[in-house]
Amino acid sequence: SQQGEEDPQALSIQEGENATMNCSYKTSINNLQWYRQNSGRGLVHLILIRSNEREKHSGRLRVTLDTSKKSSSLLITASRAADTASYFCATDLTGANSKLTFGKGITLSVRP
């Protein structure tokens, strides 16, 4: 079963716009991670936020975590056509030692 549920399932935006993706989860976590996948190939790690952190930035990426609501959001600012990909949130559950549980993913299309 999936621990994380991403929302929306698909997102289409114009280049230059911001993209916001959401993730909800069910149980206690050590950290939450976001990954990108291009064309069904390997996953690329984007950002990790620990359970005691509320917000983190990395370049054009901003991730927030609300453990009381068991939710996270990923914001990509000033999107580019190269950001077109599938995005997954993954939870590292308490005691799981980096055995990640993934959601079904969000398909982002950035139109030039």
Where do contacts with another protein occur on this chain (CB under 8 A)?
2, 4, 30-31, 33, 35, 40-45, 48, 50, 88, 90, 92, 95-105
Residue number with CB closer to another protein (48 or 75): 48
At closest approach, how far in Å is the CB of 85 from another protein?
14
At closest approach, how far in Å is the CB of 104 from another protein?
5
Query: CA 32: distance to chain centroid?
Result: 8
Residue number with CB closer to another protein (32 or 76): 32
d(CA 89, CA 69): 16
Q: What is the residue whose two structure tokens read 């991670």? A: 33
Give 79's contacts (C-beta < 8 A, 6+ positions apart): 13, 15, 16, 17, 18, 19, 108, 110
At closest approach, how far in Å is the CB of 7 from another protein?
14
